[in-house]
Structure 1
Amino acid sequence: MQLMTSCAAGAALLLLLHCCQIASIVGHESALTVVKNPDGREGGGADEETEVAVDEEDLEVVQPTEDWQTLKPGQAVPAGSHVRLNLQTGQREVRIGKEQLKYWTQEHRETEEIQSTISPDDLKWAMKKMKEELNPVRKETDRQLTVQHIHDSVASKYRPLDELKRDLAQLDLLVETDVQIMKRLLDQFNSSNSTTEQRLSILLELEYLVHQVDNAQTLCSMGGLQLILEGLNSTDIRLQESSAFVLGSAVSSNPVVQVKAVESGALQTLLTVLATAQPLRVKKKVLFAVAALLRNFPYSQRHFLSHGGLQVLSELFKADGGGVLRTRIVTMLYDMISEKELISQAGLDLVLDASHEERVHQYSQVSLQGELLEKGWCSLVPQLLESTEHDYREKALRALLAMAPMCLDQYRLDSSLLGSLLSLRDQYQEMVQSEMIVGEENGYFAEIVELIHALQFKMK
């Protein structure tokens, strides 16, 4: 019994000494962390984890890694390391602590990898580069080399200007201005070697150019206007048509050319072409030129009336059965009446300049109303209402309203006009109802009904 007791006491003493030795190595700041077994239970053969701090000057210090490694007796670990006692093997194991592991994996390792990639040759190159940067002469040389490189790169992509000029000269390219083009065209038109087809092509090009005001004036100064008038007197109807087209485009909204055209006798030439037997397409272009020559130009309108222009138009109106020429003539008369009326109304303003007073004076010399009444236009214009074209009827109604102050007595005596207005009113009112069904309350037909009502009101 005493022998068993002494044996137990000796075992207890050895266990106590072993624990003290562990305590002396681990230190007073050690902590024990219990790790779960694979089956999820704690204790009973499980690994125990502890974080210790030791004096690195007295013991051999082991540098831990990410993996667990076994500690030998007498070895110590840095502060912050994780130490555990494996109860199954009875050995101590260590690895890097959680904070150290995080630092190592995210920052320290990246730094280590970057530093490890710098070779001695790279370091020598960097030192050489620093010396070159500190040398101003070398820097200027490098800058010049860079500029030269850029210049050479650009020069390789683009061709020199002298070389381009030489190539263009070899291609015999000629860039012409509008003036040069018109001069060349007029020379070709005047040439005896030019065919009719070539002259027609030239006139087509000139018509395009004279839409510009300066070009039209330049053409007149070059003598082009006289060539156009000669084309109007040609026996070839194609040249007549094209010449009238060029003339009308040149005088449109161009007072300088309008004056030169009237002084050159263009108006008399145009009226002569209208008074003679000509195809419809020629007369349409000639009427276009006459209208352009008269528009907003009282000087030309006065010459038009003095040369029997209204009489020529009345004969043309009577001979036209289709209504195409009638509509153009009535529109021309309406424009002339409206222009004079607008100038008279503008003359009521208190502030007038000298140019406006001059225009009022010029329009006062145009006795258009008396000429219209004398030449029978009060009975001619209503005939256009017989057309089946809505556009023709609309233009006739506008002209009849504009002529009402001088023709009102004849309107009232014209039974045919009264009957036409009643019939047209009923017809267009039905059309207005159709417009309203589709949502057009103020449509085109409603406008025609308003014109009819306005004329009927004046005739009461």
Structure 2
Amino acid sequence: MRPNFTLFTLLLLHCWHIDRIHGQKSEGALTVVEKSKGEGADEEEATVGDEDEGDLEVVQPTELWQTLKPGQAVPAGSHVRLNLQTGEREVRLGEEQLKYWRQEHREEEETLSSFSPEELKRAMKKIKEDSNAAHNQASVESRFRPLEELKEDMAQLHLLVETDFQIMKRLLEQLNSSNTTTEQRVSVLQELEYLVHQVDNAQTLCSMGGLQLILGGLNSSDFRVQENSAFVLGSALSSNPVVQVKAVEDGALQTLLTALATAQPLHVRKKVLFAMASLLRHFPFAQHHFLSRGGLQVLSELFREDGGGIVRTRIVTMLYDMISEKKGLEAFMDSAHEERVRQYSKVSLQGALLDEGWCLLVPQLLDSTEHDYREKALRALLAMAPVCLQEYRSHSSLLGSLLSLQDQYQDLIQSEMILGEENSYFLEIVELIEALHVKMK
């Protein structure tokens, strides 16, 4: 009898709770479908009633059970149960909702787990760098004005940005004008000298007919115009074969030789020698015509007239460069090598140096007190040795000068060693003396 009584009691309580739930339907706005999901609790699937939705507090379920308070509603598809132990209603996500919820969380975890810690660090660093770059860009842009705005301001000020071509055209027009004063000509030549250091500008100067105007300046009666004209010409010729060819065609070689042969101040001669050296460098055609037109005779007269040594040094350096170029042909084993050898074969510089007495002229530069002058003389003497050895040996004072210089530079080396200073330069001069001494034995 007792078990039947217990069963009867439980059924009675169950009916009482169901009746209570139905009685609170309007209060909780729930439609309940009974399901048996676990011991000690009844589960229900609930929907929010449309008629009361605007007045109810809707609870957002999760995967865990949470208690429902009176007057609260739940979204459709949620699971609602009655806890028989506490007598309270509880809610969580329904089966379909729970399936999608778990799927979303799984995808988030997979996304996060697909990045290694190093990748996440690099990503954070990249974000920081991008942020700094954007800040720096904004800072730079705040300091400078837009180009279009600058153009508008310049237009208002009636300013014109000239290209190098336009500038040279304007300068050449001034140079060619009969109304231009000497001071203005000098100023124009100085501006041109700055521009023609660029290879393209120097070639443009030729195409505009400017080379003839510059050569005309070498015949000017004003030494300042002569000096600056020679400076412009030398700068335009430097390492620019196109201009070198055009200059020879326009008669620059004869004009320079005439300028050197004419009595002029030292500062003019230095600039003319610079232009001559620029014209002859790596240009055997010009070197051949320089020799055939008596270029060495003109240089020998200048050498004898110069007492200070600066002109002598520049002449000897130019001759040394010409000799070294011909010796160094083996370094240019390209497709044009044979043509280059053919052209240099016409330049009989070594024999001309012997004939014109340069074997005895160059040693005179050793009497200078300047170390640089002596060094250049020694290098030239070594380069000329193949044709000048007999002249060197017959030069009564040359061997004595070499021995005296050797002792002097040995003393300088010792002095520098005592002071702990570098002695490589003086040691190099001693090596040149010794090499020449060996050849003369």
- On whether the aligned pair clears a TM of 0.5, the verdict is yes
| Distance (Å, rounded) in 1 between the aligned partners of 2:177 and 2:239 | 31
Deviations 1:57-89 (A, max 9, x none): xxxxxxxxxxxxxxxxxxxxxxxxxxxxxxxxx
Aligned residues: 300
Q: Which amino acid aligns with 2:408?
A: Q
| Distance (Å, rounded) in 2 between the aligned partners of 1:258 and 1:385 | 33
**8 A contact 1:298–1:363 mirrored in 2:** yes
Taking structure 2 as the reference length, what is the TM-score of the superposition? 0.66
Q: Which amino acid aligns with 1:405?
A: P
Within the candidate set 331, 335, 342, 1:346 is matched to: 331
1:443 and 2:424 matched: yes
Instruction: Call closer, same or farther: CA 1:410–1:163 in 2, change over 3 Å.
Output: closer
1:406-425 maps to which residues of 2 (within 5 A)? 406-425=387-406
Show structure 2 runs of 5+ residues with no match. 1-142
1:26-105 maps to which residues of 2 (within 5 A)? none
Alpha-carbon shift at residue 380 of structure 1 (Å): 0.3
- 2:350 matched to which residue of 1? 369
Higher alpha-carbon Rg: 1
- 1:381 matched to which residue of 2? 362
Deviations 1:214-238 (A, max 9, x none): 0000000101000001100011111
- 2:43 matched to which residue of 1? none
Instruction: Call closer, same or farther: CA 1:162–1:285 in 2, change over 3 Å.
Output: closer
Alpha-carbon shift at residue 170 of structure 1 (Å): 2.0
1:264 and 2:250 matched: yes
- 2:303 matched to which residue of 1? 317
Q: Which amino acid aligns with 2:393?
A: R
Instruction: Call closer, same or farther: CA 1:163–1:445 in 2, change over 3 Å.
Output: closer
Q: Which amino acid aligns with 1:315?
A: E
Instruction: Call closer, same or farther: CA 1:166–1:353 in 2, change over 3 Å.
Output: closer
SS at match of 2:336: helix
| Distance (Å, rounded) in 2 between the aligned partners of 1:422 and 1:334 | 23
**8 A contact 1:435–1:443 mirrored in 2:** no
| Distance (Å, rounded) in 1 between the aligned partners of 2:350 and 2:177 | 47
Taking structure 1 as the reference length, what is the TM-score of the superposition? 0.63
Alpha-carbon shift at residue 299 of structure 1 (Å): 1.2
Q: Which amino acid aligns with 2:344?
A: Y
Within the candidate set 335, 346, 359, 2:321 is matched to: 335
Q: Which amino acid aligns with 1:407?
A: C
- 1:391 matched to which residue of 2? 372
Deviations 1:79-105 (A, max 9, x none): xxxxxxxxxxxxxxxxxxxxxxxxxxx
Deviations 1:307-329 (A, max 9, x none): 11001000110111111100000
1:304 and 2:290 matched: yes
1:452 and 2:433 matched: yes
Q: Which amino acid aligns with 2:175?
A: F
Which stretch shows the higher mean deviation, 366-375 or 157-166?
157-166
| Distance (Å, rounded) in 2 between the aligned partners of 1:311 and 1:158 | 61
Instruction: Call closer, same or farther: CA 1:450–1:223 in 2, change over 3 Å.
Output: same
| Distance (Å, rounded) in 2 between the aligned partners of 1:434 and 1:300 | 47
1:401 and 2:382 matched: yes
Alpha-carbon shift at residue 165 of structure 1 (Å): 4.8
| Distance (Å, rounded) in 2 between the aligned partners of 1:158 and 1:204 | 33
**8 A contact 1:182–1:206 mirrored in 2:** yes
Deviations 1:152-194 (A, max 9, x none): xxxxx99998776544322101011100100011111112221
Deviations 1:240-295 (A, max 9, x none): 00000000000000000000011111111111011111111110100010011111
Q: Which amino acid aligns with 1:401?
A: L
1:177 and 2:163 matched: yes
| Distance (Å, rounded) in 1 between the aligned partners of 2:185 and 2:160 | 22
Identity of aligned residues (%): 79
**8 A contact 1:387–1:393 mirrored in 2:** yes
Instruction: Call closer, same or farther: CA 1:330–1:162 in 2, change over 3 Å.
Output: closer
Q: Which amino acid aligns with 1:323?
A: G
Instruction: Call closer, same or farther: CA 1:257–1:163 in 2, change over 3 Å.
Output: closer
